[in-house]
Amino acid sequence: ETGVTQTPRHLVMGMTNKKSLKCEQHLGHNAMYWYKQSAKKPLELMFVYSLEERVENNSVPSRFSPECPNSSHLFLHLHTLQPEDSALYLCASSQDSVGQPSSGYTFGSGTRLTVV
Amino acid sequence: AQSVAQPEDQVNVAEGNPLTVKCTYSVSGNPYLFWYVQYPNRGLQFLLKYITGDNLVKGSYGFEAEFNKSQTSFHLKKPSALVSDSALYFCAVSFLLNDYKLSFGAGTTVTVRA
């Protein structure tokens, strides 16, 4: 285990369902990230939270809704998804300071999402 | 503008042979460079990073990488590849103008044949 835990590991959902992905980190990091990884495509940064505030939202459709209730937990709420949203969703965390280089990210194992 | 590039989608080597995975960057100022590895259906695992100091960085699982400022490269190397090194490898860069967030390359799939 890396210290970043994602649940569930696998999720199959219909296009009309509502589900949530959960990420938890026990590293004391102050920033958390959601990435989407599709086959044959580069990693797509979706959302960035720093000190529980959303600092980046990279033109992600509104059917994806992030939530960061505290510095240890990050959720991705899903509703009315499309089949093209099927992918591996990765959560990451880091300990970063303003104006300082990144010390690197710690990733969870991901949630494999299939939309049917 | 792309800040880090991995020019090879795939690298195939025989077990026991040297392995090189290429990475070049295009950022101004001082880049901070990282390599990650991803096994099937897993998250990315940190291998090594260059921040400052010695240009040759040693990391996990016998991997090393050399920072070459004149060639703007940070190639990952292993002297003798193992079948278990077969995975997807990502180069990443962090730099001031990107608020020091990591920008990832597209990834290189390494296959080591027995």
DSSP B2-50: --EE---SEEEEETTS-EEE--EE--SS--EEEEEEE-TTS-EEEEEEE
Average pLDDT, chain A: 90
pLDDT in tens, A74-96: 999 999 999 999 999 999 999 87
| Residue from B100, B103, B108 whose CB has the most chain A CBs within 10 Å, to mutate | B100
Write out chain B residues lying below 8 Å of A99, CB-based. Answer: 100
Average pLDDT estimate for B82-92 = 96
Tokens 């044949």 -> residue: B113
List Cα–Cα distances, B100 to A34, A99, B19, B31, B84, in angstroms: 17, 7, 29, 9, 32
Residues B39, B53: Cα–Cα separation, whole Å: 30
pLDDT band of residue A1 (cuts 50, 70, 90) is: low
Q: Indicate whether B100 pLDDT > 80.
A: no
Average pLDDT estimate for A21-39 = 93
pLDDT at position B91: 96
Q: Indicate whether A100 pLDDT > 80.
A: no
| Pick from B43, B49, B102: CB nearest A2 | B43
Q: Indicate whether A113 pLDDT > 70.
A: yes
pLDDT in tens, B49-76: 998 888 999 999 999 999 999 999 999 9
pLDDT in tens, B16-43: 999 999 999 998 778 899 999 999 888 8
Q: Is B48 in a helix, a strand, or coil? A: strand
* B8 to chain A, closest Cα gap in Å: 13
pLDDT at position B38: 95
Q: Indicate whether B1 pLDDT > 60.
A: no
pLDDT band of residue A67 (cuts 50, 70, 90) is: very high
Question: CB-hemisphere CA count at 13 Å for A32?
Answer: 30
* A56 to chain B, closest Cα gap in Å: 11
Please list the residues that pair with A55 across neighbouring strands: none
Residues A105, A107: Cα–Cα separation, whole Å: 6
Instruction: Tokens for A79, please give them.
Output: 């509703």
CA-CA-CA-CA dihedral for B28, B98, B48, A21, to nearest 10 = -160
| Pick from B32, B95, B104: CB nearest A43 | B104
Residues A111, A30: Cα–Cα separation, whole Å: 22
| Pick from A48, A96, A104: CB nearest B34 | A104
The dihedral through the CA atoms of B9, A64, A2, B95 has a sign that is: positive
Tokens 């880091």 -> residue: A94
pLDDT band of residue B2 (cuts 50, 70, 90) is: low
pLDDT at position B90: 96
| Chain A CA closest to residue B45 | A107
Instruction: Tokens for A5, please give them.
Output: 């835990």
Instruction: Tokens for A42, please give them.
Output: 């580069």
pLDDT at position A96: 79
